[in-house]
Structure 1
Amino acid sequence: MYNSVEDLIQHPVFYFFSEISKIPRGSGNEKAISDYLVQFAKERHLEVIQDAALNVIIKKPASPGYEHVPTLVIQGHMDMVCEKNQGTVHDFEKDPIQLRIVEDMLYATDTTLGADNGVAVAYALALLDAEDIPHPALEVVITTEEETTMGGALAVDPANFEGKILINIDSEEDHKLLVSSAGGIKTTQILPIVWEEAPKNTMAYSLSVKGLKGGHSGMSIHKGRGNSNKIMGRILAGLADDVPYFLQQINGGAATNAIPRETDAVILAAENSIEKLEAKIQEWNTILQNELKTSDPGVHISLHKVEPEVTNVFSEQTKQKAITSLLLIPNGIQTMSMDIEGLVESSTNLGVVTTTDTELLLESDARSAVKSLKEDIVRRASLVAETLGCSFKTENDYPEWPYNPDSKIRKVFEKVHREKYNKDAEIIAVHAGIECGIFIDKIPGLDAISIGPDMYNVHTPNEHLSIPSTINNWEYFLSVLMEMKSFDWKE
């Protein structure tokens, strides 16, 4: 067991993980980390390409004796989801991630860790840096904006690659081989706000939904965790039945691919209705703590007076449209796979709600392993917008990754796992967006697989990475590289 981060970074993988953790790399803020990767390659006299999307491709020739082995593409993404606990002082634009060890797990300090997908970057750099690890010719590609738009992978020029075998290192479960994933698309409903002057003799209150666990909107959608944006819609609708109020803003969630943990609204109510309002909030606490006692026992609804004075509010029609939108926009699991027991086939997550000076934006992340089902989710979401007189847009559409029954790289991983651990690796598919689908779409005949160590609660400030699993998965990865030399690639 490692007792300190200083001890841990003696291992090459964790050394590079620590180095990149010093560099802010939230999605859309990847220039510094991209430049770091370029400089890393130049210092080692490796061929490097940095494209307009800030993707970085680093190439390294085959080790002696590996010249006949097919070129291998190793892939991950450099960006991370930036989430922090409320009250945490951390600027993701400039502050390093503060690493800490708890037992055999690596955590950040009240922020996301960035193991998703810093692990891939660390593995790649450790491999490229080493002089004593045998390997085939390597084409390492580290992409940008995977967590938001998949824009980096979508912008990759396939002409920069010779390899037809891809190992993606963006999986989150050791001893499991990921061979298929869902496609996805971002949808946004745009509700124009009609403002009115705030009525006199009212008090403004901040209404908050907090204490939810959240999680990755693909990997955790089956866990039944509460969505703070949807919960806020229920509360606002319920209050409207009993306590007259005016609505001034709603803001919740940090990313469309994260189940929102916190949502805040500002409401105005008559001064003589505060006791009734507080009683209704307590009722909602009881209701939600009962509903979510297993998935989110920490859920809590709070009400606090707002200072300074609020001067404008939504019109009654805007308020009703906002509440209706929160209630009716599709959310959660839509269909389950009939082929793989327990696998979510299609889902959608109302991840971000934002109030601007002119609009209320409601952003969702739809996923499906079946293209037609993804299109159905989008159609239903667009009908909600159309019915309410809102505009609607889609973006960041990326393809699913279909299972390849004849994958040769899967056979190599299976053989090595059987020999190394005396048991078969588990073959899995996930309900999450993996860049493999984009690369397969760009490079005809590409044979892909995804691996990774055990990590937990990604996209939340409780994200943590298993240290022994990271080391084990690294050693398994190196054993596969060695096996590639003797494998019959022509069979």
Structure 2
Amino acid sequence: MSSIIDGLKPELVWKHFEDITKIPRPSKHEERILEYLKNFANSRSFEMREDSTGNIVVLRPGSGGGENAPIVIIQSHVDMVCEKNRDSDHDFMKDPLQLYIEDGWLKAEGTTLGADNGIGVAAAMALLDMPDTVELPPLECLFTVDEETGLTGAFALSGEIIKGRTMLNLDTEDWGEICIGCAGGGDSSIYLPIGYKKAPSDFLSFQLSVEGLRGGHSGVDIHEERGNAVVFLSSILSALQSIDCRLVSIQGGDKHNAIPREAFATILISPEAVSEVQTIVSNREKSLQKEFGSMEKNMKVILSGLEDSPDENLTEESQSRIIGLLRTLPHGVLKYSHDVEDLVETSNNLASVKINGGKINVICSTRSSIADALESQRERIAIMSNAYGAEIEQDEAYPGWAPNVNSPILETTTKIYSEILNGKPNICAIHAGLECGVIGEKVDGMDMISFGPTIKGPHSPDERVEISSVDKFWDLLLKILKELSKK
């Protein structure tokens, strides 16, 4: 039976990647992919270690002359961000991904692809499947859980299950780059109590929606100043405050680390105000298109009538507070680094809003490469939230990863990368969370870098991986390990 990956190189990496795209693996629901990896290791008689969180280490002895070399850790995370287009009926808890190729890129129909970090997982599995004649050092293939919702697996990692002190993280998303540092970050969960009152019987019910935005990763894409559907929707609702318009419900965004692509509100409008509301909405759409048109070419602002009219709407005070809070909370780049050109230092993603019980829940995800700056911004978010009568919960921030320009593994990788590229790779730090920062704090003396193939649109249904870059990434990985097997 033919497959979409037939003929793609390297065959072993693509085979494993296709296999894992058939296995549901949302964050916090990794039990099936973990079972698959355990069966994979057991069927090949590899030693395996596991901690109480679910992180797995599969051990492959050195081979081809690398038997006595120092252990190298190959690290990837098994979970994926599950985002889909509104018209998709894909069920991430049970359905396999539907893959297709377009213009040299592998994609999934209407959903995230999970190349972040499925390609890394597949590459680790391919290494485990290498013949004994291949020159490799002893490997500890570390598969972590729940990276995408807070680096849970890395935070809870037992240092006892890994012995190596050189680590290759396979979660960077640009071929030609070596990542040697990353931002830290932390979430803020804001809970605003709301009240309801009886809705006017003659008011008409409408859905106001912002749709078709690009979304994307709240770290690596934040500098592009893409539109945020929650921000756009709240700006329109704010413009409607002076009109007899009642807010019933609001929802937008989903994942803390994804820029919201869609947002929706149910509103009630007095019959005599409908025309004025339509004009304001139309004008706001034109204004947003003028401001973001080249970036958000598919953006739509839609006001559509609803058949059923709700019995209740938010009180004036609740409506004013939620709109005010959403208009006050920051979104986007807050500061660029003074030391590294074009590096975002601090940012905030206004990630989601939804009604949960008698409260409106707003999630913000803040990132910074400076720990004090991170906590300062989270303090500001708490003060803003409290000013509107909201409660706030802030989880422990995860640490950034401070660059080590004198790293031995960086020197080795740069040399090999330069030979492949016929030029220098881009050595960089990224404005996103990598597990390296957490693992480096837990395990003393860890020497690490991160690299990978080119992946665009992570955390959105536009996610895609450049097929040709996977072959080059695999070649680089094998050459690095061959060099390390001689140490």
Name the TM-score class by shorter chain: over 0.9
The question of whether the paired residues in 2 share the 8 Å contact of 1:153 and 1:435 is answered with yes
- 1:476: which partner in 2? 476
SS of alignment partner, residue 240 of structure 1: coil
- 2:94: which partner in 1? 94
What number of residue pairs does the alignment pair up?
485
SS of alignment partner, residue 38 of structure 1: helix
Deviations 1:276-304 (Å, cap 9, x if unpaired)? Answer: 11111111111000010122122211011
Q: Judging changes above 3 Å, is the alpha-carbon distance between structure 1 residues 199 and 52 closer, same or farther for their aligned structure 2 residues?
A: farther
Deviations 1:399-457 (Å, cap 9, x if unpaired)? Answer: 00001122000011011122333211110110000000000000011011000001111
CA distance in 2, matches of 1:44, 1:198: 65
- 1:325: which partner in 2? 325
- 2:341: which partner in 1? 341
Name the Cα RMSD after superposition: 1.4
Cα shift at 1:254: 1.5
- 1:157: which partner in 2? 158
The question of whether the paired residues in 1 share the 8 Å contact of 2:214 and 2:261 is answered with yes
- 1:78: which partner in 2? 78
- 1:252: which partner in 2? 252
- 1:119: which partner in 2? 119
CA distance in 1, matches of 2:67, 2:143: 24
- 1:110: which partner in 2? 110
CA distance in 2, matches of 1:441, 1:46: 28
Range that drifts further, 396-405 or 121-130 = 396-405
Range that drifts further, 304-313 or 318-327 = 304-313
- 1:176: which partner in 2? 177
| TM-score normalised by length of structure 2 | 0.97
SS of alignment partner, residue 277 of structure 2: helix
- 1:286: which partner in 2? 286
Q: Counterparts of 1:40-59 in structure 2 under 5 Å?
A: 40-59=40-59
Deviations 1:119-146 (Å, cap 9, x if unpaired)? Answer: 1100000100121432111111111111
Deviations 1:61-99 (Å, cap 9, x if unpaired)? Answer: 111421332111111111111111111110011000111
Cα shift at 1:10: 7.5
Q: Judging changes above 3 Å, is the alpha-carbon distance between structure 1 residues 444 and 92 closer, same or farther for their aligned structure 2 residues?
A: same
The question of whether the paired residues in 1 share the 8 Å contact of 2:354 and 2:361 is answered with yes
The question of whether the paired residues in 1 share the 8 Å contact of 2:107 and 2:462 is answered with yes
- 1:209: which partner in 2? 210
Cα shift at 1:188: 1.0
The question of whether the paired residues in 1 share the 8 Å contact of 2:64 and 2:134 is answered with no
Cα shift at 1:37: 0.7
Q: Judging changes above 3 Å, is the alpha-carbon distance between structure 1 residues 10 and 164 closer, same or farther for their aligned structure 2 residues?
A: closer
- 2:226: which partner in 1? 225
- 1:269: which partner in 2? 269
Q: Counterparts of 1:347-386 in structure 2 under 5 Å?
A: 347-386=347-386
CA distance in 2, matches of 1:406, 1:262: 44
CA distance in 2, matches of 1:40, 1:140: 12
The question of whether the paired residues in 1 share the 8 Å contact of 2:5 and 2:15 is answered with no
Amino acid at match of 2:240: L
Amino acid at match of 1:226: G
The question of whether the paired residues in 2 share the 8 Å contact of 1:187 and 1:378 is answered with yes
SS of alignment partner, residue 417 of structure 2: helix
Deviations 1:227-256 (Å, cap 9, x if unpaired)? Answer: 111111111111113x21111111001211
CA distance in 2, matches of 1:137, 1:4: 33
- 1:304 partnered with 2:335: no
SS of alignment partner, residue 414 of structure 1: helix
SS of alignment partner, residue 91 of structure 2: coil
- 1:65 partnered with 2:95: no
- 1:235 partnered with 2:271: no
The question of whether the paired residues in 1 share the 8 Å contact of 2:9 and 2:471 is answered with no
CA distance in 2, matches of 1:48, 1:269: 62
The question of whether the paired residues in 2 share the 8 Å contact of 1:330 and 1:380 is answered with no
- 1:451 partnered with 2:447: no
The question of whether the paired residues in 1 share the 8 Å contact of 2:190 and 2:361 is answered with yes
The question of whether the paired residues in 2 share the 8 Å contact of 1:9 and 1:15 is answered with no
CA distance in 1, matches of 2:16, 2:105: 17
- 1:425 partnered with 2:428: no
Amino acid at match of 2:413: F
SS of alignment partner, residue 62 of structure 1: coil
- 1:145: which partner in 2? 146
- 1:461 partnered with 2:458: no
CA distance in 2, matches of 1:432, 1:213: 18
Q: Judging changes above 3 Å, is the alpha-carbon distance between structure 1 residues 264 and 352 closer, same or farther for their aligned structure 2 residues?
A: same
CA distance in 2, matches of 1:141, 1:455: 21
SS of alignment partner, residue 397 of structure 2: strand
CA distance in 2, matches of 1:485, 1:128: 15
SS of alignment partner, residue 465 of structure 2: strand
CA distance in 2, matches of 1:79, 1:173: 20
Amino acid at match of 2:44: R
SS of alignment partner, residue 374 of structure 2: helix
CA distance in 1, matches of 2:244, 2:56: 55
CA distance in 1, matches of 2:209, 2:32: 35
Amino acid at match of 1:156: L
Cα shift at 1:396: 5.0
Amino acid at match of 2:239: G
CA distance in 2, matches of 1:136, 1:285: 58
- 1:441: which partner in 2? 441
Query: Where does structure 2 lack aligned partners over 5 or more consecutive residues?
Result: none
SS of alignment partner, residue 248 of structure 1: strand
Query: Where does structure 1 lack aligned partners over 5 or more consecutive residues?
Result: none
Cα shift at 1:3: 9.7
SS of alignment partner, residue 295 of structure 2: coil
The question of whether the paired residues in 2 share the 8 Å contact of 1:27 and 1:79 is answered with yes
Amino acid at match of 1:406: N
Amino acid at match of 1:186: D
CA distance in 2, matches of 1:418, 1:208: 49
The question of whether the paired residues in 2 share the 8 Å contact of 1:330 and 1:377 is answered with no
Amino acid at match of 2:270: A
What percent of counterpart residues are identical?
35
CA distance in 2, matches of 1:483, 1:307: 68
The question of whether the paired residues in 2 share the 8 Å contact of 1:8 and 1:14 is answered with yes
Amino acid at match of 1:433: G
